[in-house]
Amino acid sequence: MAKTALWTASMRAREHEREDRLFSDPLARVFAGTEGPRIMVQFEGSVQSGVEDPALAVRTRFLDDWLLRLDRRGLRQFVFLAVGMDSRAFRLPWSPGVVVFELDRPALLSLKDDLVGSAAAQSLCARVPLGVDLLAEWTAPLVESEFDQALPTGWLLEGLLYFLDPQERDLLVEQLSGLSAPGSCLLADYVGQSVLDSPGMASWRARMAEQGYPWKSGSDDPEQLFEGFGWDVQVSAYGEPHADYGRWADASVAPGVPGTRGRYLLVGERGQGGRVVGR
């Protein structure tokens, strides 16, 4: 079972309980269970030195807003890769006809479905859980699950890319790109490679590796990286006006600036004149 999925659920549950919460996630506490809070304390104590990081709340709200924007634009097919304990299929106000494919390890999705059943939760869209290994063959099972390659797709890669080495990352992006019709959009978060390699990140990387979840890759030029797979990418640094929500106290940092984490959020569009969807 991925500890990071329970950690993330616990952080979302904590955010849900704030009066100034950036999003509502009533299922997060159910998904976190009793183990999630213990994992959160362990990770935050050993990895973040007890400091609550605002990135999760900002990232979740930013991606929520974009998913709903794509829904309003008319996309009806979404694929969440390494979905973990994400509850967007249950909490976002999807339009009629939306299908969300949730891909992750079979054991994790089995536990998630048990928790959904125990909470008698009803999804607000057609939800298709698909147990696969993203580092093995996953595209064929997706297509066999009535994924329509002719339709534009909204891809969500949240909290995933930096856990992949460059070869794994490139293969995954190549695979999903091959399934993406014109008008598809890709949403993700990532980190600058020079930042990842900087002395300031050494402690973070060591502690994440000790927990069994090393950060393996980043990119200082995500525009060029994703352009190679046919995507036009718009990069937003945490702390910019549209990626702040009153929570990001640090100055906005461009990708690749040494001495900072340099984390950022990506929105990419495929085809249709090479235009990235407007904010």
pLDDT tens for each residue of 244-271: 998 887 555 556 565 555 889 999 999 8
- Which H helix or E strand runs over 45? helix 35-46
Q: Are the CB atoms for 26 and 115 separated by under 8 Å?
A: no
Question: Whole-model pTM?
Answer: 0.91
Please report the pLDDT score of residue 36 as a whole number: 82
Residue 132 has a CB neighbour count (10 Å cut-off) of 19
pLDDT at 25 over 60: yes
Structure tokens at 92: 């976002």
What amino acid occupies position 169?
A: R
Please report the pLDDT score of residue 273 as a whole number: 44
What amino acid occupies position 89?
A: A
Q: Are the CB atoms for 32 and 9 separated by under 8 Å?
A: yes
